[in-house]
Chains A and B, each alone.
Chain A
Amino acid sequence: MSELDLVRELIPERASDPDARERVRLAVAARTYERRRSWGRPRLFVPAVGLVAGAATAVVLLLAGTSATVDAAAARVLRQAAIAVRQQPGLAALGPDEYLYTRSTNEYLSTVGLKSSSFSALVPNTREVWLRRDGTGWLHEVTGAPIFLSERDRHAWINAGRPSFGGGVTDTVLANTDGPNAPMASLDLPTDPDALYAQLHREAAGFGSRIYAEMFVMIGDDLRENYTTPAQRSALFEVAARLPGIQVVRGAHDAAGRAAIAVAIDDSGNHDRAALLFDPQTLALLGEQYVVLGGNAFGYPDGAVIGGSAYLEQKVVDSVPQSVVDAARH
């Protein structure tokens, strides 16, 4: 028997748990391609933001809410937002050759993993996206310098030779990805809150006790860069108002630095909190935000902002501006 055999045989093989694959599959999906459905649409989430420095370290204060019941104050904010959005004129019709144009400023945590170390930083960017109904389109992003949330991250990055988090100006031709996550899946969203609730609940199946947090994130996805009518947006807010665990968070700011009232939900599995941000006066949706909670894997303080978007403009346009296309070709 060689020394290699001795190493191999230190631990006897045991039968594999047949459920392990399914458990890990769900956990991986929840942390990656199912985490935010927008990942399936090459859109906003992964790279996002432009940000006001203060937002990177902002700590929001939890005022009310529990994880098991629907908080009345949070539900009230969402229902008022649902009423308010119905009063809005909404977008022009989106013809087959037209584009939905969305401009936003964003900041999301990006992690670089190397052989010997890994480190994370908030990467700010501004983002303009033109999307047709079929999911084809154009993405123009301007990415800024990384913002480190801890000295450990910054030192690890310096020791690794200051590798790029991907920056500068990038232009991407968006292909039609087809499939269930086509960008304009929102066109088919029900406007009846009961039907919409049932649909989102079905799509989030498999998340166990975290199902409501996942439904909340899915609502954020649908509100982000998709074509939605006032009636659909109203229904999305109404569904959010029914989710156990929602809570009002005050003192928040969006990625553009605008003061906001936030309605949030905690995801205890991921030690993070997702929030929709509303204008305190008009209750118009300003953006979204993600913060980590205590016990997070990054070791960041409870409440540290790890992502967010500020929606700045959305309209239907005829074409991608020639100036943008020309600049990308040079």
Chain B
Amino acid sequence: MHDLDPGTDGRVIRRSLADPHAFGAIFERHFEAVYGYARHRVGAQLAEEIATDVFSRAFDRRKTFDVTRGDARPWLLGIAANLLRRHWRTERRRLEAYARSAGGSASEDAETRIEVVAALDSLSRDEREALFLFAVADLSYDEIAAALAIPVGTVRSRLARARGRVRERLGASSAVASTDPKESFNV
């Protein structure tokens, strides 16, 4: 297995068409990003299954990867996002459980978290995936567009809707501000 392989992800993937073992370098580079994203959303056990599926599918589909792209991370996270769509119900139950247990002495905090989960549940699957890729995977607008194969404008509108819904659900809570430092890099 190639632990360290010089060259961009695109070059490695192109080479892996003739030498499949070269794809091991893609796994080494991006395992943490893919597994970490899935683990954050659905927990460690299911995350292993998701990560296995992501890299296996990516391997099978590597011919379709645009090798002029330098970074495979958005592509891999896009595959993860599509796989995770099926697990929203599990994810929601888990989030609710966390929200309830997070309260402790600060019951207002627990209520806010439960409201956030309810807000996420009210989103369309497309809106939710865009929001998670932005907030949890820390992808830029351009990267989300590449991950989900949608125009950047669509990313912007989906995120705006998703965030608006969450804010709306939380009402005029003073706990919610409307800006995020990362946005300055995306607009």
B-binding residues in A (CB < 8 A)? 1-8, 10-14, 16-17, 20-21, 23-25, 27-29, 31-33, 39-40, 42, 111-113, 115, 118, 175, 177, 179, 181
Q: Report the bound CA distance from A254 to B44 in whole Å.
A: 42
Interface of B is mostly: helix
The interface residues of chain A, by DSSP majority, are classed as: mixed
- CB-based contact B163/A3 at 8 Å: yes
In the complex, A121→B113 CA distance in Å?
A: 45
B48 lies within 8 A of A33 (CB):
no
B23 touches A33 (CB 8 A): yes
What is the interface of chain B, defined by CB distance below 8 A to chain A?
1, 18-21, 23-24, 27, 31-32, 35-36, 39-41, 44, 47-48, 51-52, 55-57, 59-61, 78-79, 82, 94-95, 98-99, 102, 112-113, 116-117, 120, 131-132, 134-136, 148-149, 163, 166-167, 170, 175-180, 182
Contact flag A2-B61 (CB < 8 Å), given A28-B27, A33-B23, A115-B148 = no
Provide the bound-state CA to CA distance between A24 and B59, in Å.
Answer: 14
Q: A28-B27, A32-B59 are in contact. Are A7 and B116 (CB under 8 A)?
A: yes
Q: Contact: B135 with A24, CB < 8 Å?
A: no
B136–A33 touching, CB < 8 Å = no
Of all chain B residues, the one with the shortest Cβ separation from A118 is: B57
Q: Is the CB of A6 within 8 A of B56?
A: no
B40 and A13 contact, CB distance less than 8 A: yes
Given contacts A3-B163, A3-B176, A39-B20, contact A31 B56 (CB under 8 A): yes
Query: CA A67 – CA B27 in complex, angstroms?
Result: 32
Residues of B within 8 A of A39 (CB): 20
Distance to closest chain A CB from B105 (angstroms): 16
Contact B18 A177 (CB under 8 A): yes
A27 to B180, CA, bound (A): 38
Q: Are B60 and A2 in contact (CB under 8 A)?
A: no
- Residues of B contacting A181 in the complex (Cβ-Cβ under 8 angstroms): 21
Q: Is the CB–CB distance between A28 and B55 below 8 Å?
A: yes
Closest A residue to B17 by CB, please name it: A42
